[in-house]
Every structure is written in C-alpha cells, then in structure tokens.
Amino acid sequence: MSRTPAVNPNVHDIADRAKHAYATGTQLIAQMQYRLGELAGLGLLDPDESMSLQENLIEIWGHLYCGTVWAVRDEQDDGDEEEEYHAPTGVAADNTYRDGRPVMIQTRIEPLGTSECKWEHNRFLVDDGAIIFHQRGTICYISPPNPEDGRGWTGATF
C-alpha cells in the first residue's frame, strides 16, 4: 500500500527553499553557459554544438524557474509586468526571503565595457537564460534560506 508523503505546512519555508534552489541552479547554469562559450572560442568544442547545448541550458533554466519561484508565487500579488528587473528574476519578491534578507547579492567588480562587452568569446555565447542574471564582471553571493544554517552560502565570480 502506498502512503502519501508528508507535506511541509509552512508555505514560507517552501517559498524560501524554492527561491534558494532557483538562485543556485541559475548560477550553475550561467557558469556552464560561459564555459561552453569559452570552449567554442578556444576551438575545443564545435561552435554549433556549443550553441545547441546552450539552447538546452536555456530550456532547463526556464523549467527550473517554473518549478521553483514561479510555482510558489501568490497569483494575486504577482508584481507589475513592467517592473525593472531585480535579480534573480523580474519581481523583487523573488529575491527576498520571508525575513527580508536578499536571496542573492550581486555586485559589479569590473567595468561593464571591459568584462562583458569585450569578452573574446561573446560570439560563441547565446545571450539568453541564466547569463542575463549572472553577467560577466560581477560577483554573486547566495545566502541560505535559514540564516542560522552556516551551510548553503554559495558564491561565484563571472
């Protein structure tokens, strides 16, 4: 006889975990997109194959978004569609835990013109998906959903 699995009744905990999973997953996908562009630029991977793999990553990123942050949004308070982008998604609440802490803190550490616009492998990079939220020349820290949990901090430089 199959049993129904236990369900977490704390909707805020569920939402916080979903936001953390989205932020860390997006960070990993962006790293992979940049690496594929670099490998193609260095001649170590066929450029068409690199672009195809990046398109697959963009598809994965979309499913990650739909299965995490978008799935736990309050449909009555979905934010303004014209709102300025706030990392990691388009809605400010997507980057805020229930206690008010940001999920992801991102800072530009290199001038835009030297890091992102002039990267020698740009022509091998699909300009969509996770890299929109993790631009070159930035450093990003993702905090854990539970501030007392020292585990869960992640950081990356792009």
pTM: 0.83
Strands (E), the chain: 104-108, 138-142, 154-157
Q: Backbone phi, then psi, for 126, in 5-degree steps?
A: -80, 120
Cβ-based neighbours of 113, under 8 Å, separated by 6 or more: none
pLDDT < 70 stretches in the chain: 1, 75-91, 149-153
Q: Is the dihedral of CA 116, 119, 123, 126 positive or negative?
A: negative
- Note the pLDDT of residue 158: 73
The one-letter code for the residue type at 31 is Q
User: Distance (Å, rounded) from C-alpha 109 to C-alpha 120?
Assistant: 18
Q: Which residues contact 116 (CB under 8 A, 6 or more apart)?
A: 135, 136, 137
pLDDT tens, residue by residue, 86-121: 444 446 788 999 999 999 999 999 887 777 778 899
Structure confidence at residue 134 (pLDDT): 93
Q: Distance between alpha carbon 152 and the CA centroid of its chain, in Å? A: 15
Q: What is the pLDDT of residue 153?
A: 66
Query: Where do the structural domains in the chain lie, given as residue ranges?
Result: 11-73+85-157
**Residue 145: closest CA among 23, 51, 7, 27:** 23
pLDDT at 91: 62
